[in-house]
Structure 1
Amino acid sequence: MNVAPIKKNTRIVVGMSGGVDSTVAAYLLKREGFDVIGITLKIWTDRCMHISSEKCCGPDAINDARNMAAQIGIPHYVLDEADCFEKEVISYFLREYSLGRTPNPCIKCNEKIKFGRLWTRVQSWGVEYLATGHYALVENQDHIPRLKKAKDKRRDQSYFLFSLSPGQLSRMITPLGNLEKKEVRAIAKEAGLNVWDKEESRDICFVPGKNYKEFIQGKKTPSNTHSGFIIDEEGKIIGEHQGIEGYTVGQRKGLPGGQGRPLYVVDIDPESKTIRAGSLKSLFKTHCYASQAHWIEKDIESPRPVTVKLRYNYPEVEALLTLLGKDRFRLDFSSPQIGISPGQAAVCYDGDIVLGGGWIEREKA
């Protein structure tokens, strides 16, 4: 863990989820002699007590975080951010689906809650840095922050951090950036931290059982229902749906059968509330556009070759980046890509360095 430029006894808040990663992050910082405080955010309201215990925001996870902080020997506090989370993350999540887009709430949570609201609340405590269990590297060169991939490329989470501002990155510490997951578990086991073998949750924390459609249905009212028709690629009506919120580009489930071939969602039109279904071939795209561009690296030349991630769990692909003014850009892929979903983040890299990215736009058919 390389935090040499930071003076010993510097006060650092660690976001603790009750899992092995954030626990080890706190443990390493404490071992290095920093003044460490553990913080867990309560992001559920009384309306959401169905959150399962293994979720990083559930009641049992908070208990795990509290117990691990005690074992490490650091103070631990729970901050209630349920209202802010509802406004900044859940409302965004629901709004994006209602617009026929596929959201990424983890990116918004990092930007608005963990490195936004949390920092605002702890500044009065004399805190100088925020630390997390993210697998990513943040380096500061001449007071200019640079975001890079983690050593463990299979776990790298730099994708989720692309929208952070220079100010947010400059006060961020990622103790696990130079470690692999197996090393993190080994450190926890050796230290006697009983979460060393705790199974991690890979789902969106506020959606129980991976059932996004059920979660969205539970939030719908007659005024925000977006039912309509399902059409084929020739514009023929082949079925009806009860809401575009239940669909995403690339999806097969929920489409009518009897068409003589597998069908996939290839486009969602929020204005007409129409879902267009087509063949697998129709999902392949040679390019895409993105808006709300955010660049960590400055003075990017255009056009220029990059690698890009179009979803977190997708492999990087080679592309040509062309800037279209301040807020938009185009990506031309070296080979056609499948399942490009409006609303997802397109994050651009130069080797291990995160250049920045933006949010994929819908191209009208």
Structure 2
Amino acid sequence: MSKKVMLAMSGGVDSSASAILLLEAGYELFGATLQLFSRKEAEKDGACGASSDIEDARRVAQLLGFPHEVFPFSDRFREQVIDRFVSEYCAGNTPNPCIDCNREIKFGALLDQALARGFDAMATGHYARVERDRTTGRWLLKKAADERKDQTYVLYQLTQEQLAHVLFPLGNLRKDEVRAIAMQHGLVNAQKPDSQDICFIPDGDYAAFIRHDTGIDSPQGRFIDAHGNTLGTHQGLIHYTVGQRKGLGVTFGKPMYVLAKNARDNTVTLGEDKKLFTCEMEVARVNLISVDTLSSPMRVQAKARYRHAAQPATLYPVVQGRARVVFDEPQRAITPGQAAVFYDGELVVGGGTIVAD
């Protein structure tokens, strides 16, 4: 009997091409599209789960001949992704809401729905690979064959229980191959552009979104130097991020950069570019994938931002969910709130959230 698979369909080419591959592999398929916004919010250009995206997913399912359903998760998405993003950003951190969405919504609520309905697995259009270690029995998360499209950075929080029920049909393909598959089958979205930025802030203006969402303007505070001396007045923490130079609104006769933000005393620390470089970072809420525990230092390649290349580092033992990471070479603008993901070659060792010292 063929395995039953629920496919998360965004309306984009990746999940649609995944449907073709799964059907060709003999799976019994069911399409699921997440409605993450209210009807009014979903009409915004670029919003994930917009009405046009839902319709694209429905049309692909109809063309390929499998059932499709829309899952209304807007309340959950608001509480577990948007509200958390706003809270963390206002607290001086720079979170990645895609990671929260994967943990709480796609591989949380939707996977729970799939298993409760008797499906054997859930598939998505992510570029990643899952394998089982025949020696240890652990499920392993591996980089996609096309490392330029690899999305394991936003998947590092997947647990063993989740990985056991997840399929990534695109893990061994390049993007051009995926589009070719969609075109060969006449899919309406074969040339649809890839989504960019944060789905609920398509224009990338975080400060404007937070002001509109909360109805509150971030209060002014002090620009300070590393010794606590006042340098000027900032326009609210939400307007700045670590490493920023432009848009400070003040001049100092030399280039100055945001070194840190402190929500407790509402200060933004400024300094020279060289002060942004450090070899160490601390991570919290560590999730390990390739190993069960880490009791001795391990050599890894560590990635501290989605678009940054992984760099050689040493990951020290994880104690109560926290760990210290020491890079071989200084890294620029390590930012609290961002994810740090650790690799051993193609394998994802695990990852955590960067925290301030």
TM-score by length of 2: 0.95
CA contact (8 A) 2:303 2:342 kept: yes
Would you say 1:147 and 2:141 are equivalent positions? yes
Deviations, residues 101-139 of structure 1 (Å, cap 9, x unaligned): 100111111110001111222333221101000000011
CA contact (8 A) 1:51 1:207 kept: no
CA contact (8 A) 2:36 2:48 kept: no
Q: Of 315, 329, 334, which residue of structure 2 is paired with 1:340?
A: 334
Give the Å deviation of 1:198.
1.2
Would you say 1:35 and 2:25 are equivalent positions? no
Deviations, residues 239-277 of structure 1 (Å, cap 9, x unaligned): 323321222111223313320112211000111010111
CA contact (8 A) 1:24 1:187 kept: yes
1:88 aligned residue: 80
1:190 aligned residue: 184
Would you say 1:97 and 2:89 are equivalent positions? yes
Structure 2 CA distance for aligned equivalents of residues 226 and 117 of structure 1: 36
Query: What is the DSSP-based 3-state SS (H/G/I as helix, E as strand, rest coil) of the residue aligned with 1:208?
Result: coil
Q: Of 306, 318, 323, which residue of structure 1 is paired with 2:317?
A: 323
Query: What is the DSSP-based 3-state SS (H/G/I as helix, E as strand, rest coil) of the residue aligned with 2:317?
Result: strand
CA contact (8 A) 2:301 2:310 kept: yes
Structure 2 CA distance for aligned equivalents of residues 124 and 328 of structure 1: 33
2:259 aligned residue: 266
Larger deviation, residues 190-199 vs 169-178: 190-199
CA contact (8 A) 1:239 1:256 kept: no
Runs of 4+ in 1 over 3 A off after TM superposition: 224-227
Structure 2 CA distance for aligned equivalents of residues 209 and 170 of structure 1: 36
Gaps of 5+ in 1: 1-7
Letter in 2 for 1:183: E
Equivalent runs, 1:1-365 vs 2, <5 Å? 9-46=2-39, 48-49=41-42, 51-52=44-45, 54-142=46-134, 143-222=137-216, 225-296=218-289, 297-363=291-357
CA contact (8 A) 2:114 2:122 kept: no
Letter in 1 for 2:320: K
Deviations, residues 128-187 of structure 1 (Å, cap 9, x unaligned): 101000000011235521100010000000111111111011100000001111111111
Structure 1 CA distance for aligned equivalents of residues 38 and 188 of structure 2: 28
Give the Å deviation of 1:69.
1.2
Deviations, residues 182-203 of structure 1 (Å, cap 9, x unaligned): 1111111112213221111121
Letter in 1 for 2:188: N
Identity value in percent? 41
CA contact (8 A) 2:115 2:121 kept: no
Gaps of 5+ in 2: none
Query: What is the DSSP-based 3-state SS (H/G/I as helix, E as strand, rest coil) of the residue aligned with 1:85?
Result: helix
Query: What is the DSSP-based 3-state SS (H/G/I as helix, E as strand, rest coil) of the residue aligned with 2:180?
Result: helix
Letter in 1 for 2:86: L
Structure 2 CA distance for aligned equivalents of residues 42 and 290 of structure 1: 32
Letter in 2 for 1:67: R
CA contact (8 A) 1:55 1:201 kept: no
CA contact (8 A) 2:12 2:192 kept: yes
Structure 2 CA distance for aligned equivalents of residues 340 and 158 of structure 1: 19
Structure 2 CA distance for aligned equivalents of residues 74 and 39 of structure 1: 11
Structure 2 CA distance for aligned equivalents of residues 282 and 25 of structure 1: 45
Structure 1 CA distance for aligned equivalents of residues 241 and 306 of structure 2: 16
Letter in 2 for 1:191: H
**How many aligned positions are there?**
354
Query: What is the DSSP-based 3-state SS (H/G/I as helix, E as strand, rest coil) of the residue aligned with 2:112?
Result: helix
Structure 2 CA distance for aligned equivalents of residues 79 and 306 of structure 1: 39
TM-score by length of 1: 0.93
CA RMSD for the aligned pairs?
A: 1.6
